[in-house]
Copies of this chain bind each other. A is one copy, B any other.
Amino acid sequence: MFTERVRDLAHVGSVELFTPVPDQSLRFFVDLLGMDVTGRRGDSVYLHAWDDYERFTIKLTASTTSGIGRTYLRAAGPEALQRRVDEIEAAGLGRGWISDELGLGPVFLCGDPDGHEYGLYWETERYRPLERRAPALKNQAAPFPGRGANVRRLDHVNYLAADLAGCSAFLADQLRAQPTEQIMLDSGDVSAIWYHISDKSYDLVYTVDRAGARGRLHHIAVATDTRDDILRAADVMLENGIHIETGPHKHAIQQTFFLYVYEPGGNRVEVANAGARLILAPDWKPIVWTEEERKKGQAWGLKTIETFHTHGTPTMEHYTEPDMAARQKVKSGK
C-alpha cells in the first residue's frame, strides 16, 4: 500500500570528520578538492564547497584517530523539525538539544542503534562571501574555485554498521527516509541499503561492517558537475600522491561515476557524479540486487576490490566501541 513520503528533512547539511593529521587533511580538502575555510573553532576547521548555501559543508576535527562525527540534517521547516523531534522522542531515541555549533541554531541530537549521531536543525547561517570575493553570478554561493577537483557540494554519507537492520529501521521510521536501492544476500539479509530524503537518488547509505564494529564510516562523498571532472580529479590525486583505492568507474548500483581515495587522515572520500540522475517517482520501488548480480562487478565490469569491503574508519587498530551511554548525556544537559 502506498504511503505518501514524509519530507520533513530537506537534505544532508554537513558532516564532521575526524583526522589524526589535521594539517594534511586540511590541505587535501582545500588544495585538492577546492574547498574553502569558513571558520575555525577549537580543534575544528570548517570547510565550505562553493555551491553550498550554508556556512559549512565539512567540519574537520583533529582527533586521535579517523572516523565520522555527527551528521547534520536540515529540516524542511520549523514545524517539520518539530514533527521529527516528536516522533524520535516518542520512540525514546532523542538525545536532547545543543545550540553551540558554528552557523547553526538549535540542533536536536539523535542516533542510530550503531552509534552514528545525527543532528537535526532548522536555523542556519547562510554562507556570505567576503566582499572582495563575491561570485560573478549572484545565484551561486561562493566563487568557482578553479582548483583541484572543484567539488560542488556534499553528496552523501555511507556508514558502516554492525546492526544494519536497526539502522535501516531508524532511517525509515524516525527520519522518514526512503530506500531506493539495496543489496540482498541469498540469506535474505540486506548487506547495504541506499536511502534518499531529497530528490537525489540517495543521501544516506548503510553498509554492513564485516568487522562487526559499530559507528564506523565507509565513506563520505562530494559531488562534481561532470564525469570529466572526476577524471581530472584522478589526475590531481595521482599528481599529489593521494592513495586512489579504486576508480574512476561507474557503479552498477545507483550508476554513480566514482573515484575513491583516502584523504591523508585515512577516511575514504568518494568524488562522485550522478549525471542528471534523480529519483522523482514518489512511489519508486527499491531496486534489489542479488549476490549473483553483484558478482558482475561495477557497471562496466570492474571487480570490487577487497579493501572496499574491509577498510573503514577508524581502522580496527584504533577502534573503540562507541560509548552509547555517554552519548545520551547530552539530553540531560539540555
Q: Which A residues have a C-beta under 8 Å from some C-beta of B? A: 2-5, 7, 10-11, 32, 51, 53, 74-80, 135-140, 143-144, 146-148, 150, 152-153, 181, 198-200, 223-228, 231-232, 234-241, 244-250, 252-255, 257, 259, 273-278, 280-284, 287, 289, 293, 299-302
Contacts and interface: CB of A to CB of B under 8 A. Distances in A.
Nearest to A280: B11
B10 A239 contact: no
Given A5-B76, A139-B181, A225 B51 contact: no
Interface of A is mostly: loop
Nearest to A147: B147
Given A137-B255, A140-B255, A278 B147 contact: no
Given A76-B5, A228-B226, A232-B146, A239 B280 contact: no
In the complex, the count of this chain's copies comes to 4
A4 B82 CA distance: 13
18 contacts: A5-B77, A74-B280, A76-B282, A137-B252, A139-B252, A139-B254, A146-B148, A150-B232, A198-B199, A225-B275, A231-B250, A234-B299, A238-B299, A244-B300, A248-B248, A248-B249, A248-B300, A249-B249
Given A10-B280, A228-B226, A273-B276, A144 B239 contact: yes
A51 B139 contact: no
A142 to B, nearest CB: 10
A80 B147 CA distance: 42
A280 B146 contact: no
A196 to B, nearest CB: 10
Contacts of A278: 198-200
A299 B10 CA distance: 29
